[in-house]
Structure 1
Amino acid sequence: MRLNSKQICEYTGGRVLVNPIDASKLACGVAWDSRAVSPGDLYVALPGENVDGHAFVPQALRAGAVVVLVQEAPDEATCLLAREMGAAVIEVSNTFSAITDLARAWRGYLRGHVVGLTGSTGKTTTKNLVRDVLSASFSVVATQANQNNELGVPKTLLSADPETEVVVVEMGMRGLGQIADLCDFVKPDMGLITNIGESHIELLGSRENIARAKAELIEALPDGYGCAFVNSSDAYTPLVLECSKAIERSVGIWFYDGSARDVDTAADAYATDVELDSEGRPGFVLHVAGDEAVCKLNLRGLHNVQNATAAASVGARLGMDAATIASALASAQPEAGRQHVIQARAGFTIVDDAYNANPDSMRASLAMFSSLAVQGKRVAVLGDMGELGDYAVACHEGIGRAAAASNLDYLVCTGELSAHIARAAREAGMDADTVLETDSIPGVLGELDNLLEPGDAVLVKASHFMGLERVVGGLVN
């Protein structure tokens, strides 16, 4: 972002309370946490139930904010400080919507491609792979971490410059119409859907409705020259294309398939000869747009072959060759909390997958964990999965059956819903003495203290609200 105070005032419909000393000075970044403000930033004071950003306007000014957006006029002392610092203070009716207003206006300055990305699972990992692949040939700005909501999406656009060649925008969704609302100002010319799973089924009621909600991304692509990247092995892809009217609107469609079937497919990007090494990392032959190259991932699990072929399809669409794409994929690293492997000082291995979970990612994680070469015992710590509504019991029972079929020596379950994982695992034949239950983080750590020895491996997986990163921290420390 490079906007002066006059432009910011115009785009947000604001009113200037304090004029800047230099009206031509540009704000080149945006922050709503005063601790994250860098010199030259725009600071947006967001009200909240527990913390009100208006209380931190002085700190933001002292940190170098050149423009401040407020929805409540600051006191005279703060206005005086702004004058001393040479900063502008602009009042708007709503600072939350002002961020979107700015992103909508700034989108008109961006000359590169904008890739929207969504899906039930694998969004952040695939977004990172798309970023890493495209960065081998283009200047790229991508969503930071998983900032894929009503604040993170506009911030991604505002982080790009007019010269940025590709902006990759991850989009989360909790209901029908939300992706459409985001696309209204993101205006993607490319859209990628990872899959249609059971995440958010509590709010949408069925996978068909989830598919309709995800299809809003493809529906937003421009007629005639937009390009959709869709999973040819997903049973709901035809419904996505039908709902979005992609074919009727002459939107380009690229199919990818990393389902490890080791057969030629009709996909534009796919994998063959897929093998896992002793640490669960896949190697395969990448086929993309008639070209091919051998690829080896640092990410673990067969499911990441699907994510890799998705990223490869975007790179190929923008003219990259298979060898360059495969090299970029091979360099990609997992994020903390997403199947991140840690060697504990006590001699055992931790697979930290505690950031989030849903039934699809749980099964993928168990499959990956079972494929690891482990000298000692395999122990899985599984916690509750959220946003499953009436499906919650059945989904947790399904994970219990999957755990019983996995190559586990012990299963530790924590959380109210995870009692159904434990029960189903026992019913599916897992030795009752190896299925343990506890209702607290200290309880989990206590069980693991009794179980883990050098050479063992432990998987930690649950929805984020369970806080199982504290288990990982306890094991590391």
Structure 2
Amino acid sequence: MENCKIRELIKAVSGKVIRGDQDCLISKISIDSRTLIPGDLFFAIIGPNFDGHDFIVEAFEKGAVGAVVCKDASTLQQNEQIDKNKIIIEVKNTLFALQDWSKHYKDKFNTVNICVTGSNGKTTTKEIIAHILSQKFPLLKTSGNYNNEIGIPLTLLQLNKSHKLLVAEMGMRGLGEINALTNFIAPDLAVITNIGEAHIGLLGSKDNIFKAKSELLQSLEKDGIAIINRDDPYFLNTLEIVKNKKVYTFGIENKSDIMACNIRLVSNKGMRFTLVIQNGISREIYFPLLGRHNIYNALAATAVAFVMGTELDLIERGLMSFKQLDLHMQLSNFCQGIKILNDSYNASPLSVESALETLIEVAQNNRKIAILGDMLELGEKSDFYHQEIGEKVAKLSIDILITVGSGGKIIAQSSKEKGMTEERVFSFEKNEKINLAKKLLSLTKSGDFILLKGSREMKMEEILEFWQREHPKNSTN
């Protein structure tokens, strides 16, 4: 954040100064006392499982220049542990104050706003877009999963005069949430990766998921640009929303503005495909990510880069040099020729099916072991979706299935009903990951490919951590 006076912030958030110098300059905001650095202004945000007001004294002890609070202001003023020179600002709601300040601050800058949403692939797509375009434009992107009503404002407060582009991922857990996020960042380019079942338990149906995601498209101004998936089942519904806008499509199966054909695996290290752009230009591309779903992510990013006038050479260079994200389809060597396909960041029915298909493609004639955890937030259809995954596992002839959690048990039972034998299926509770890791010692052998996949709350990567601890013990016996 560029230097701003406290009095400017007070006016923007309709705050009241309890004490402190209003001409004091601030250049950084913090909402977490654990990562706060001296000179930060601390916002005491109240969340479902925490209250930032409990950490105000700690924030001051770590060097915070001041705090924005919505309760106990008079008590803080009398607290002898707090330096009398520290700034205390009282507001009605600290989250709303953070949001109001971020909107005020954003208005200082004129950026082209590229916003990405979708059920699957939005984080990877956002990262690829930023990676390609950063070769040509100074830009700011949302970090990690800063895609909500807190993360977006914190991202905006990192803007400076050098930034020409803003690349933002927008997530949602209900209707109206993406629309609210567009109040912070009005999209100039809107990207919808796909419509799947993620969060269906919160929204009730795929139609409602479509409505929630399409709020991004509805927020486009008349000269806004939409980039949409031609192969998605909701394509025609999407097209209807943006019929008066400039639209670019990407796809593999259906004729699109940005297409991939002749897709093939390159020695477990990535994919190669022919990129075809609407004007007939084609280019052979090497993309160092695994899975057909990641080709869609690359095409969506390419469409954005094309719209932004990026030269094909730069697009190719950006795709070729992209680094895989942690816990997103990471293939690594474990030991004794065993390979781990770690896709444990999150899981939905669509992403689990994609991960299983990638396992089959990458492993080829080697043994395939799928370790699958619960898929969460699927609501009343949770059992149905877990059963479908079990059927998929059996259909793909996975050699060994290991499941974690209550939903995992449904996957296991469904796979056995579809033909997998008892000795090839194992189930564990969420708190039995150490036992699972020990079981792997007797199940695995050289050349095996192992997929780790589950919802974020399942923390499936812990299995690998436990296994890495147990394996040296076993090797020395």
In the superposition, the TM-score normalised over structure 2's length comes to: 0.91
Q: Which residue is equivalent to 1:255?
A: 249
1:292–1:323 Cα contact (<8 Å) kept:
no
Q: State the distance in 1 between where 2:160 and 2:66 align.
A: 18
Q: Which residue is equivalent to 1:286?
A: 275
Report matched runs for 1:96-107 at 5 Å: 96-107=95-106
Instruction: Verify: 1:272 aligned to 2:261, yes or no.
Output: yes
Q: Per-residue CA shift, 1:352-377, capped at 9, x if unaligned?
A: 11111000000010011111146853
Report matched runs for 1:17-416 at 5 Å: 17-20=18-21, 23=23, 25=25, 27-48=26-47, 50-72=49-71, 73=73, 75-76=76-77, 81-84=82-85, 87-223=86-222, 225-242=223-240, 244=241, 246-248=242-244, 251-257=245-251, 259=252, 261=253, 266-279=255-268, 281-290=270-279, 291-345=281-335, 347-373=337-363, 376-416=366-406
Q: Per-residue CA shift, 1:78-121, capped at 9, x if unaligned?
A: 5874544xx53211111111111112212212211111111011
Instruction: Verify: 1:443 aligned to 2:441, yes or no.
Output: no
Question: What SS does the corresponding residue of 2:406 show, helix, strand or coil?
Answer: coil
Q: Which residue is equivalent to 1:466?
A: 458
> How many correspondences in the alignment?
463
The code of the aligned residue for 1:364 comes to S
Q: State the distance in 1 between where 2:77 and 2:65 align.
A: 18
Q: State the distance in 2 between where 1:367 and 1:388 align.
A: 21
Q: Which residue is equivalent to 1:14?
A: 15
- Identify the range of structure 1 (453-462 vs 45-54) with the bigger mean alpha-carbon deviation: 45-54
TM-aligned CA deviation for residue 407 of structure 1: 4.7
Q: State the distance in 2 between where 1:216 and 1:51 align.
A: 30
Q: Per-residue CA shift, 1:425-457, capped at 9, x if unaligned?
A: 122222332111222212321321221233322
Q: State the distance in 2 between where 1:37 and 1:5 align.
A: 18
Q: State the distance in 2 between where 1:241 and 1:105 align.
A: 33
TM-aligned CA deviation for residue 395 of structure 1: 0.8
TM-aligned CA deviation for residue 18 of structure 1: 2.2
1:289–1:316 Cα contact (<8 Å) kept:
no
2:10–2:16 Cα contact (<8 Å) kept:
yes
2:434–2:467 Cα contact (<8 Å) kept:
no
Q: Detail structure 1 runs of 4+ shifted over 6 Å in the superposition.
A: none
Structure 1 residues 79 and 153 mapped into 2: Cα distance closer, same or farther (>3 Å)? farther
Q: Which residue is equivalent to 1:452?
A: 444
2:437–2:464 Cα contact (<8 Å) kept:
no
Q: Percent identity?
A: 33
Q: Per-residue CA shift, 1:332-390, capped at 9, x if unaligned?
A: 11222111223224542222111110000000100111111468532110111111112
Q: Per-residue CA shift, 1:260-309, capped at 9, x if unaligned?
A: x4xxx542211122111231621112223533322212211111000000
Q: Which residue is equivalent to 2:474?
A: none
TM-aligned CA deviation for residue 39 of structure 1: 3.8
Q: State the distance in 1 between where 2:238 and 2:41 align.
A: 38
Q: State the distance in 1 between where 2:166 and 2:446 align.
A: 45
TM-aligned CA deviation for residue 62 of structure 1: 4.2
When the two chains are superposed, the root-mean-square deviation of aligned CA atoms in Å is: 2.1
Question: What SS does the corresponding residue of 1:36 show, helix, strand or coil?
Answer: coil
2:57–2:81 Cα contact (<8 Å) kept:
no
Structure 1: segments with no counterpart, 5+ residues: none
Structure 1 residues 211 and 161 mapped into 2: Cα distance closer, same or farther (>3 Å)? same
1:115–1:188 Cα contact (<8 Å) kept:
yes
In the superposition, the TM-score normalised over structure 1's length comes to: 0.91
2:434–2:466 Cα contact (<8 Å) kept:
no
Question: What SS does the corresponding residue of 2:340 show, helix, strand or coil?
Answer: strand
